[in-house]
């Protein structure tokens, strides 16, 4: 049976609220996800929350299933107030459900590059919205996963999880520094394709081998010269208007579907 918590001073609520901050996520090795849709997608992908907070009186068949399966798996279901849900999510109009999940990660050594013909790689991403959107693109294009290079925004931040619309639970995410990733990539098959404005290669012209690792650079600075020099191929998306570049997540999506179109005509 779900327990009821209505006091913000409750230790469990305070610990869950603290997960909005990176240092507490790191210490607890947990993160927050909100919304019935995202939590249902997580359940369908095999992930159930350690703690499930839901608005008192809320009734929905999917929520009932979440409560039952969470408790059956040893998790805790908690009936609470909309005010507490708002404090957990950081939104004035929070979703009716918030879950606390144990963090998970994928090591490069665990990745089997033969599982997919497309992999997304991003270096020093700063915007959680961009990271979440790139995760959605990875899911939509059937990419094998997303590899984050160097100091990227935390993929388990509330904002990134929200922007991923559940893809954080369906797409493998690995993190590595550049040297480790480079050595791993060169230890097996794989072509590294970088997005750059400093090239004459139009993105539609090349034939993209299987597997292709698509590298997107930092939103403001692009990828460093030493990374660009180690790419097997640099391509650019033509800018026909006055804007000097596309948003990083948009450019990644354009390229991902271009590669997908070749691999799955």
The reply to whether 3-102 and 108-263 are identical in fold is no
Could you say which DSSP state residue 202 is in?
B
Match domain 3-102 to its CATH number in 3.90.1150.10, 1.20.1270.360, 3.90.226.10, 3.30.1330.30. Answer: 3.30.1330.30
Cα(172)–Cα(155) distance, rounded to whole angstroms? 11
Reported as a single tens digit per residue, the pLDDT across 22-62 is 999 999 999 999 999 999 999 999 999 999 999 988 889 99
1-40 b/e (C-beta count within 10 Å ≥ 16 → b) = ebeebeeeeeeebeebbbbbeeeebeebebbbbbbbebbb
DSSP 45-104: TT---SEEEEETT---HHHHHHHHHHHHTT-EEEEE-HHHHHHHHT-SS--SEEEEEE--
From 201, 190, 206, 194, select the one nearest 238 (Cα to Cα): 201
Cα(227)–Cα(245) distance, rounded to whole angstroms? 19
pLDDT of residue 248: 93
The bridge status of strand 97-102 relative to strand 76-80 is unpaired
Tokens matching residue 201 = 């290669």
pLDDT of residue 89: 86
Domain boundaries, the chain: 3-102, 108-263
Cα(54)–Cα(98) distance, rounded to whole angstroms? 6
What CATH topology corresponds to 108-263?
Alpha/beta knot (3.40.1280)
pLDDT of residue 80: 95
Tokens matching residue 27 = 């210490």
Q: Are 100 and 49 in contact (CB under 8 A)?
A: yes
Could you say which DSSP state residue 3 is in?
E
Point out the residues of the chain with pLDDT beneath 70.
244, 265
Cα(67)–Cα(48) distance, rounded to whole angstroms? 10
As to burial, measured by CB atoms within 10 angstroms (0-12 exposed, 13-18 middle, 19+ buried), residue 244 is exposed
């Amino acid at each position: 049976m779900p327990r009821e918590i209505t006091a913000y001073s409750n230790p469990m609520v305070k610990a869950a609220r603290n997960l909005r901050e990176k240092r507490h996520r790191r210490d607890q090795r947990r993160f927050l996800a909100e919304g019935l849709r995202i939590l249902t997608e997580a359940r369908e992908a095999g992930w159930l929350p350690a703690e499930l907070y839901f608005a008192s009186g809320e009734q929905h068949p999917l929520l009932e299933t979440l409560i039952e399966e969470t408790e059956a798996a040893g998790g805790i279901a908690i009936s609470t107030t909309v005010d507490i849900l708002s404090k957990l999510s950081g939104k004035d109009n929070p979703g009716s459900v918030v879950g606390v999940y144990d963090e998970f990660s994928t090591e490069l050594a665990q990745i089997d590059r033969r599982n997919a013909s497309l992999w997304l790689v991003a270096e020093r991403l700063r915007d959680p919205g961009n990271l979440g959107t790139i995760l959605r693109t990875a899911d939509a294009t059937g990419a094998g996963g997303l590899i984050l290079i160097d100091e990227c925004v935390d993929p388990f931040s509330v904002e990134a999880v929200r922007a991923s619309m559940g893809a954080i639970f369906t797409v493998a995410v690995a993190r590595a520094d550049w040297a480790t990733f480079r050595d791993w990539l060169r230890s097996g098959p794989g072509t590294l394709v970088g997005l750059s404005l400093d090239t004459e290669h139009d993105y539609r012209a090349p034939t993209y081998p299987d597997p292709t690792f698509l590298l997107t650079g930092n939103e403001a600075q692009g990828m460093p010269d030493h990374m660009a020099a180690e790419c097997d191929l640099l391509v650019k998306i033509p800018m026909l208007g006055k804007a000097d570049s596309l948003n990083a997540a948009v450019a990644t999506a354009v390229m991902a579907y271009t590669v997908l179109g070749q691999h799955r005509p």
